[in-house]
């Protein structure tokens, strides 16, 4: 591990970790939008719910520096990650009850509204829980996220998505995307499965949020606003709706481009990243409207049943 | 009576699409629903299958009231359908279209899927064989990997019927199965509907405009016009029924009132 850090430098390791975390969250959004066809513009809010939940639990139960024993603190960390995922899932289910009655653009507007509400909530969170920091940001989160943790999380996320997608449950989600009326006529409880797809995807965002909180050790509400939801949406569309390979490649490409340009561009031109990336996006959409990978997959992600 | 409606009413704004429809279908029967355009045939199907809620009246399946239930509940009670404007899962393979219809009969949980347990593999294998059976029945087995949208029109119609059969229904509702088919295809379809009815012990209710098909295979016809049943009976009687002739061709105007020129 030290050798690796020596060779590529801690900065790039950290970016790699960030890319893995984004990939986990984007895989969740791909389940929601790519496979189930639910247009969600509030994914970052669920990411935030997971981040704040996990960070709060970690601060409460493992101390600011994670100074309990190694095994204890790692177990508490795992527990708080799962709790973060669970909190996001619970929130998704509650929000989904009313909003999943809506379709297409209307669902987008409703989830966007939810995202804005959550941002305001994070901004004012210190009013009811001072530890959350509110608009000043949350500090004192122990640095627990490490290379093994993110690789483990990403591997687990990929396997879960692959196994669900290539099962009868995954096919049901895709059927709902393709034609909800026909899916209902095939005996599928479309509302229930939309809620399941939405909840599953949001739980990924929650776990990813927990990892993110313990990577940078600082949370600020602006990390979970509408624009962050939009970034994830772009990653999923860019990679190809309903392609896990595409989501993975686009996540890594996105983060490395964004952070890599920080190294290569002179500081005064740094904001040109926000010119370059949209241009890339426009060009990709013109040349490959179905996304980089369409619905194609790497061999180990294909259906073999 | 396996399927029965009584006083079924459905409005769309001021239009009464169904205005007190009473029909009854006996177990194993093959009944045709005919009527001019806009007479309420497809609305009747949509109300029976739960896509629309009835505004009044009742629908009964094997004696149990099903009016107003959501579509998936009705399908699980044994009513499957095809759609007039084909509604396949276009971006999915032919085999997957049929597999999805079989979902309700799959016996493994989400946890089995995530962990790829033995019961997952067993059930998937069983389902693959069942699907293969349905596909070969329709001679679609060589196209199993093809996307549904790439099938020819006739094959898409066939796949829709295959998909409906994979729901294992007791009653099959076919909404214009022969639309867009040429006479030789219609003849084959007629043969085929009779075969599957026999093989799966189905009760079939079908909407059709092609009189050749309706008159050829239906045991009984129900004629709708402006949301009401105007006639009911065996095909030969319906053909001569004055109100049916009137609904399709208009009334014979007394010669003195004819407009000349």
Reading chain A (305 residues) residue by residue, the pLDDT tens digits are 667 777 778 888 999 999 999 999 999 999 999 999 999 999 999 999 999 999 999 888 876 555 667 888 888 899 999 999 999 999 999 999 999 988 778 999 999 999 999 999 999 988 888 888 888 889 888 888 889 999 999 999 999 999 999 999 999 999 999 999 999 999 999 999 999 999 999 999 999 999 999 999 999 999 998 888 988 999 999 998 989 999 999 999 999 888 888 888 888 888 888 888 888 888 888 888 888 887 788 888 887 65
Number of A–B residue contacts, CB under 8 Å: 103
The whole-number pLDDT of residue A52 equals 95
Residues in chain A closer than 8 A to B75 (CB atoms): 184-187
The whole-number pLDDT of residue A304 equals 64
Protein fold of B1-78+169-252: Rossmann fold (3.40.50)
Between B50, B89, B104, which is nearest A182 by CB?
Answer: B89
Task: Answer whether A185 sits within 8 Å of B127, measured CB to CB.
Answer: no
The whole-number pLDDT of residue A2 equals 67
* pTM score: 0.90
Q: What mean pLDDT is predicted for residues B189-208?
A: 91
- One-letter-per-residue 3-state SS of chain B: CCEEEEEEEEEECCEEEEEEEEEEECCCCEEEEECCCCCCHHHHHHHHCCCCCCCEEEEEECCEECCCCCHHHHHHCCEEECCCCCCCCCCCEHHHHHHHHCHHHCCCCHHHHHHCCHHHHHHHHHHHHHHHHHHHHCCCHHHCCCEHHHCCHHHHHHHHHHHHHCCCCCEEEEECCCCCCCHHHHHHHHHHHHHHHHHHCCEEEEECCCHHHHHHHCCEEEEEECCEEEEEECHHHHHHCHHHHHHHHCCCCCHHHCCCC
- The nearest alpha carbon in chain A to B72 belongs to A187
Q: Where do the domains of chain B lie?
A: 1-78+169-252, 93-166
The whole-number pLDDT of residue B175 equals 93
Q: B257 or A116, which is more confident?
A: A116
Residue A119 φ/ψ, nearest 5 degrees: -60, -45
pLDDT in tens, B141-154: 899 899 999 999 88
Residues 168-227 of B with CB under 8 A from A: none
Q: What mean pLDDT is predicted for residues B179-197?
A: 88
**ipTM of the complex in this document:** 0.88
Q: Any chain A CB within 8 A of the CB of B88? A: yes
The whole-number pLDDT of residue A22 equals 96
The whole-number pLDDT of residue B260 equals 56
- Residue B138: CB atoms within 10 A of its CB come to 20
Task: Answer whether B89 sits within 8 Å of A174, measured CB to CB.
Answer: yes
Q: Any chain A CB within 8 A of the CB of B49? A: yes
Between A164, A172, A189, which is nearest B100 by CB?
Answer: A172
Edge-to-edge strands of the sheet including B171-175?
Answer: B79-81, B171-175, B203-207, B30-34, B220-225, B228-233
Asked if the model's pLDDT at residue B261 lies above 50, the reply is no
Asked if the model's pLDDT at residue B66 lies above 50, the reply is yes
pLDDT in tens, B76-128: 999 999 999 999 999 899 999 999 999 988 889 888 989 999 999 999 999 99
Task: Answer whether A164 sits within 8 Å of B110, measured CB to CB.
Answer: yes
pLDDT tier at B259, thresholds 50, 70, 90: low
pLDDT in tens, A207-233: 999 999 999 999 999 999 888 898 899
Task: Tell which of A27, A35, A157, A182 to mutate to test the B interface (max B CBs under 10 Å).
Answer: A182
Between A159, A168, A174, which is nearest B92 by CB?
Answer: A174
- Taking a C-beta distance cutoff of 8 angstroms, is the pair B113, A167 a contact? yes
Residues in chain B closer than 8 A to A183 (CB atoms): 89, 100
The whole-number pLDDT of residue A68 equals 64
Q: Which two tokens stand for residue B11?
A: 């409005």
DSSP A166-233: TSHHHHHHHHHHH-HHHHHHTT--HHHHHHHHHHHHHHHHHHHHHHHHHHHS-B-GGGGSHHHHHHHH
Q: Domains of chain A (ranges plus CATH)?
A: 2-301 (1.10.3470)
How far B178 CA lies from chain A's nearest CA (Å)?
19
């Amino acid at each position: 591990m030290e050798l690796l850090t020596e060779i590529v430098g801690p900065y790039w390791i950290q970016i790699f970790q960030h890319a893995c975390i984004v990939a986990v969250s984007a895989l969740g959004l791909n389940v929601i939008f790519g496979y189930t066809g639910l247009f969600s513009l509030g994914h970052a809010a669920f990411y935030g719910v997971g981040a704040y939940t996990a960070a709060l639990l970690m601060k409460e139960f493992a101390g600011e520096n994670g100074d309990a024993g190694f095994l204890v603190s790692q177990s508490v960390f795992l527990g708080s990650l799962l709790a973060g995922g669970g909190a996001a899932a619970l929130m998704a289910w509650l929000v989904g009850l009313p909003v999943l009655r809506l379709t297409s653009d209307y669902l987008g507007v409703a989830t966007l509204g939810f995202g804005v509400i959550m941002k305001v909530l994070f901004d004012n969170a210190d009013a009811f829980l001072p530890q959350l920091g509110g608009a000043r940001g949350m500090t004192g989160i122990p640095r627990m996220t490490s290379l093994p943790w993110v690789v483990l999380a990403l591997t687990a996320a990929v396997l879960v998505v692959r196994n669900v997608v290539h099962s009868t449950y995954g096919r049901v989600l895709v059927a709902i995307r393709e034609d909800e009326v026909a899916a209902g006529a095939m005996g599928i409880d479309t509302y229930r499965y939309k809620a399941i797809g939405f909840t599953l995807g949001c739980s990924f965002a929650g776990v990813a949020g927990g990892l993110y909180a313990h990577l940078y050790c600082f949370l600020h509400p602006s990390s979970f606003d509408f624009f962050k939801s939009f970034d994830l949406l772009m990653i999923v569309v860019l990679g190809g709706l309903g392609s896990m390979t595409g989501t993975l490649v686009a996540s890594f490409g996105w983060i490395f481009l964004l952070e890599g340009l920080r190294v290569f561009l002179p500081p005064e031109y740094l904001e040109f990243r926000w010119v370059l990336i949209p241009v890339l996006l426009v060009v990709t959409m013109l040349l490959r409207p179905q996304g980089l990978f369409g619905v194609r997959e790497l061999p180990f992600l294909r259906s073999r049943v | 009576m396996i399927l029965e409606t009584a006083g079924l009413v459905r409005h769309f704004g001021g239009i009464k699409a169904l205005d007190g429809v009473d029909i009854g279908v006996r177990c194993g029967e093959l009944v045709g629903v005919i009527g001019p355009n806009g007479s309420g045939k497809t609305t009747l199907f949509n109300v029976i299958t739960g896509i629309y809620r009835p505004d009044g009246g009742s629908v009964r399946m094997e004696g149990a009231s099903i009016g107003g239930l959501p579509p998936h509940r009705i399908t699980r009670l044994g009513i499957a359908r095809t759609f007039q404007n084909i509604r396949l899962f276009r971006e999915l393979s032919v085999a997957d279209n049929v597999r999805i219809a079989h979902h309700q009969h799959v016996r493994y949980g989400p946890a089995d899927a995530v962990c790829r347990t033995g019961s997952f593999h067993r059930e998937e294998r069983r389902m693959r064989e069942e699907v293969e059976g349905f596909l070969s029945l329709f001679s679609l087995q060589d196209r199993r990997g093809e996307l549904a949208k790439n099938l020819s029109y006739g094959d898409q119609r066939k796949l829709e019927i295959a998909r409906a059969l994979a729901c294992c229904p007791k009653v099959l509702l076919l909404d214009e199965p022969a639309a867009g088919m040429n006479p030789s295809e219609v003849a084959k379809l007629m043969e085929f509907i009779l075969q599957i009815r026999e093989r799966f012990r189905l009760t079939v209710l079908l909407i059709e405009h092609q009189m050749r098909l309706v008159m050829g295979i239906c045991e009984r016809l129900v004629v709708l016009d402006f949301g009401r049943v105007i006639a009911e009976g065996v095909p030969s009687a319906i053909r001569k029924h004055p109100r049916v002739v009137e609904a399709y061709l208009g009334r014979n105007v007394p010669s003195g009132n004819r407009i000349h020129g």
